A and B are shown apart, each in its own frame.
Chain A
Amino acid sequence: MGTQYVMKRGWTEFLEANKKAMLEQWLDCALALFPEKMGYSTPIAMVFSGALEKILSSLGKSENDCKEALDDVTRILAVQNFPPSKALSIFLEPKLILRDIMMKTTVADTLMQEAFNSRLDALTLEAFDSYMRHREKIYQLKVEEGSRRMYMALRRAEA
């Protein structure tokens, strides 16, 4: 009801006005996950910056259309040396970023903030699913690789 309405009305303009700043901060948080903060011109930063922007834009729409972008981010995170809790923490960051910006811009619209936060929560859970899919994929790859390597032996066994 209310939240949906607010998201549609004020949020789109608010986002347009602040997207660049939010994105910059968010990207910085994401890149700082790595032991050495990733430079902006690295492949990981490029993928992150494209994907995070799509995710942020999709938060302004009522339909969730950022599945692919979410996958792009979690695909990178799922093979890193840090635990899932740390990896997925980047999806919590925008809440803080938004709060800071709102405080600065005096657009203290709690309803909008709430709507935004609950959208983010849903997104975080989706990201978790996506992260797990990639972990499963890793195990699947190991199995497939084994059989590819033994291709001729398996073929003989089947014949």
Chain B
Amino acid sequence: MSKYAPKLSELKKEFDEKPSVLKGDYSAQEWWDRPVEFRDGNWCFPGKQEVLADLGFANPRKWAATDEDWQLPADWQKTISDGLQSRLKKYRSLKLFLDACVRCGACADKCHFFLGTGDPKNMPVLRAELLRSVYRNDFPLVEKILKGFSGSRKLTKAVIKEWHMYFNQCTECRRCSVFCPFGIDTAEITMLVRELLNLIGVNNNWILAPVSNCNRTGNHLGIEPHTFVQNIMSLAEDIEDHTGVNVDPTFNRKGAEVLFITPSGDVFGDPGVYTMMGYLLLFKHIGLDYTISTYASEGGNFGMFTSNDMMKKLNAKMYHEAKRLGVKWILGGECGHMWRVVHQYMNTMNGPADFLEVPVSPITGTRFSNAAATKMVHIAEFTADLIHHKKLKLDPKRNDHLRTTFHDSCNVARGMGMFEEPRSILRNVCNSFHEMPEDTIREKTFCCGSGSGLNAEEYMDIRMRGGFPRANAVKQVKDRHKVNSLVTICAIDRASLPPLMNYWNPGVSVYGLHELVGNALVMQGEKKRTTDLRENPMAGFEDGGDDDE
């Protein structure tokens, strides 16, 4: 049980003071009778027909959430009902989560979507209840046991619409589970409901198109191998222009010691590409024997937001490629859900990866026994270890133009329990680092509001609402400490936090952690640096300025 879960006496107090839906104050109306209304800004475009066909997914058709008729397949009720039954058998956690909730309300105001919207159905307890109420109707014995709590309801088309609305206002961030006395993980309920919805063709193109691309070409944007190489080589040229150092990455090289896999956002998007430059400089700095695959060219795994089988398939690709190339282990870049998949599901789904070796840092000799099963090391652990052993030549003054704070990405923080490594790196590569308020960081971190495949442009309104608690915490350090840089270790964050900051906190830019590492690294044979990797001037390094190199 979480150390943040409240005590019984506190729970009672919370319950008395908590919002009223839990106590059934809406006596004239069941809470679920409040209708959902789809309008611009609150729904994501549905999966395109060709994308669904490509994946062999159900019910390809042209439709929109604003349509009255969603053209569900004729037997949709049976599909959902059977789908739920089979999953209840397969995942004991699901059954437990559905049965165990006592509706204490401790989770009610912990969700960023509730805090950003005030919509009761965004309280985790009610979100789960959207499924639970149907489950109860389908499984009358449970209903009998739970009698006195609340009613059950029939599975209607209106329920499907409601599920689509509210299980897409959950970013699967798990913040609520930290506060639940039973550790109920609403994120897993969301994952399951989205999987059920996919069975009848109720879906989101922003999730399915990357899945399909990844399935075909190996990465979310569908970048083909030659373009993938071209992008990275062009970043390598930029590095040479800025620093005078040739980082010469290799691709698909058999027999390399390490396979490096990162989210493809680092290869094509701004500001991800600057993080990529940081990795490349780091690997050059330590002389790492590594290669990059143009086939396993994606660390992210949108399968996780689609179905268990899809997640498994996309995850397996990384391991197939590691085997094909004959590397010893895998080093993974800054990503969120890729790590949740690797940390929590990989070993059960595709493990053990016996053909790989337990990762050992070739520079420090550190054996990463925490990765003994998955054989995959997070770059923050890897770099923190390098710094700890004083293997990097760093000049943190090169980041003096940045006043930083750190955003814990949900999946890395709550999903795999990594809190200290990124902070230790940050403290060594820059001189100004200020934490956001305690109840908004580490295991209690607030989501960016766009996780789990919700960072579609058309969804901007919802994303801004859901991201508000995070942005508000950034604002506090901005006001108090003049913070101008939000550092993070997740590719979705690098894509979604810039608009979030631009809206709530203009003037705060978003950085990948290894971009700051890249700025600070003093490379052998480098030319005098006056700008950072973004070509922004570094404070105190202006031409003619004092460079203590």
A residues at B contact (CB < 8 Å):
34-39, 42-44, 46-47, 75-76, 79-81, 134, 137-138, 141-142, 144-146, 148-153, 155-156
Q: Find out whether the CB atom of A37 lies under 8 angstroms from the CB atom of B19.
A: yes
Say yes or no: A151 contacts B115, CB within 8 Å. Answer: no
Choice from A44, A134, A153, A155 contacting B118 with Cβ under 8 Å: A44
Chain A residues positioned under 8 Å from B20 (CB to CB): 36
Query: Which residues of chain A are near B465, meaning CB under 8 Å?
Result: 79-80
Contact of A43 with B460 in the complex, beta carbons under 8 Å: no
- How far in angstroms is the closest Cβ of chain A from B416? 26
B residues in contact with A142, CB < 8 Å: 457-458, 460
The minimal Cβ–Cβ distance linking B175 to chain A, given in whole angstroms, is 14
Contacting residues, chain B, for A156 (C-beta < 8 A): 230, 234
Write out the residue numbers on chain B whose beta carbons fall within 8 Å of the beta carbon of A80: 117, 465
A43, A76, A156: most-surrounded residue (chain B CB, <10 A): A43
Report the count of interface residues on B (CB-CB < 8 A). 42
Please measure, in the bound complex, the distance between the C-alpha atom of A44 and the C-alpha atom of B460, giving whole angstroms.
19
The answer to whether A47 touches B119 (Cβ under 8 A) is no
Chain A: minimal CB distance from B282 (Å):
20
A-chain residues with CB within 8 Å of residue B230 when the two chains form the complex: 156
Residues of A within 8 A of B329 (CB): none
Q: Contact: A148 with B495, CB < 8 Å?
A: yes
Check B109–A35 contact: CB distance below 8 A.
no
**What chain B residues lie within 8 Å of A47 (beta carbons)?**
472
A149 to B498 Cα, complex, angstroms: 11
Can you list 23 pairs linking A and B with CB atoms under 8 Å apart?
A35-B118, A35-B119, A35-B120, A36-B114, A39-B17, A43-B469, A43-B472, A44-B115, A46-B472, A75-B503, A76-B468, A80-B117, A80-B465, A138-B41, A138-B464, A141-B460, A144-B499, A145-B457, A145-B499, A148-B271, A149-B495, A151-B273, A155-B234
Task: State in angstroms the CA–CA spacing of A80 and B231 once bound together.
Answer: 39
Inside 8 A of A144's CB, which chain B residues have their CB?
498-499, 502
A50→B473 CA distance, assembly (Å): 15
* Interface flags, B259-283, vs A, CB<8A=1, else 0: 0000001011111010000000000
Which of B109, B457, B468 touches A39 (beta carbons < 8 Å)?
B109
Task: Tell me if A148 and B269 are in contact (CB < 8 A).
Answer: yes
New contact pairs (17) apart from A34-B118, A149-B268, A153-B268, CB-CB < 8 Å: A35-B117, A36-B114, A38-B118, A44-B116, A44-B118, A47-B472, A75-B503, A76-B468, A79-B503, A81-B117, A138-B461, A145-B457, A145-B460, A148-B271, A152-B231, A152-B267, A156-B230
Tell yes or no: B504 within 8 A of A by CB: yes
Tell me the smallest distance from the CB of A52 to a CB of chain B, in Å. 16
Q: Is there contact, CB below 8 Å, between B115 and A152? A: no
Chain B residues whose C-beta falls within 8 Å of the C-beta of A134 in the assembled complex: 503
Q: How far is the CA of A43 from the CA of B498 in the complex (A)?
A: 20
Give the A-B pair count, Cβ closer than 8 A: 97
Q: Which of A75, A79, A145, A152 contacts B273 (CB 8 A)?
A: A152
Tell me whether B307 is interfacial, beta carbon within 8 Å. no
Contact A151 B270, beta carbon cutoff 8 Å: yes
- Contacts A37-B118, A81-B119, A137-B503; is A152 near B495 (CB within 8 Å)? no
C-alpha gap A145/B230 in the complex (Å): 23
Show the binding face of B for A, using Cβ within 8 Å: 17, 19-21, 34, 41-42, 109, 114-120, 123, 230-231, 234, 265, 267-271, 273, 457-458, 460-461, 464-465, 468-469, 472-473, 495, 498-499, 502-504
Residue of A nearest to B470 (CB): A43
| Minimal beta-carbon separation of A53 from chain B (angstroms) | 16
Main secondary structure of the interface of B (DSSP, over half): helix
Counting chain A CB atoms within 10 Å of each CB, which of B19, B118, B230, B472 scores highest? Answer: B118
User: Which residues on B sit within 8 Å (CB–CB) of A137?
Assistant: 502-503
Task: Kindly provide the distance from the CB of B258 to the nearest chain A CB, expressed in whole angstroms.
Answer: 24
| Cβ contact of A36, chosen from B19, B231, B502, cutoff 8 A | B19
Question: Which residues of B sit under 8 angstroms from A38, Cβ to Cβ?
Answer: 118
Q: Which of B17, B109, B273, B499 has the most CB of A within 10 A?
A: B499
Enumerate chain B residues within 8 angstroms of A81, measured Cβ to Cβ.
42, 117, 119
Question: How far is the CB of A16 from the nearest CB of chain B, in Å?
Answer: 26
A150 to B268, CA, bound (A): 6
Provide the residues of chain B in CB contact with A36, threshold 8 Å: 19-21, 114, 118-120, 123
A46 to B469, CA, bound (A): 11
A79 touches B461 (CB 8 A): yes
Report the separation of the CA atoms of residues A36 and B273 in the bound assembly, to the nearest whole angstrom: 42
A31's nearest neighbour on chain B, judged by CB, is B118
Kindly list chain B residues whose C-beta atoms are within 8 Å of the C-beta of A149.
265, 268-269, 495
Best-surrounded residue of B114, B117, B123, B465 (most CB of chain A within 10 A): B117
Complexed CA–CA distance, A148 and B455 (Å): 13
Are B119 and A42 in contact (CB-based, < 8 A)?
Answer: no
For residue B268, which residue of chain A has the nearest CB?
Answer: A152
Nearest Cβ distance between residue A144 and chain B, in whole angstroms?
Answer: 7
Knowing A36-B19, A76-B468, A148-B498 are in contact, say whether A42-B273 is a contact too (CB < 8 A): no
List chain A residues, Cβ under 8 A from B119. 34-36, 81
The distance from the CB of A134 to the nearest CB of chain B, in whole angstroms, is 8
Complex CA distance for A158 and B265, rounded to whole angstroms: 20
With CB as the reference atom, state the residue of chain B lying closest to A151. Answer: B270
Q: A36-B119, A43-B469 are in contact. Are A79 and B502 (CB under 8 A)?
A: no
B364 to chain A minimum Cβ distance, whole angstroms, is 33
Within the assembled complex, what's the spacing in Å between the Cα atoms of A137 and B35? 29
Cross-chain contact A141 with B270 (CB below 8 angstroms) = no
By the criterion CB–CB under 8 Å, are B269 and A39 in contact? no
Give Cα A39 to B503, complex, Å.
24
B243 to chain A: closest CB distance in Å?
19
Question: B114 — which chain A residues lie within 8 A by C-beta?
Answer: 36
What are the nearest 9 A-B pairs in CB distance?
A: A34-B118, A151-B270, A141-B499, A79-B464, A43-B472, A142-B457, A152-B268, A36-B120, A148-B270
Give the nearest-CB partner of B116 in chain A: A44
Q: What CA separation (Å) do A150 and B265 show in the bound complex?
A: 9
B472 (CB) vs chain A CBs: closest residue: A43
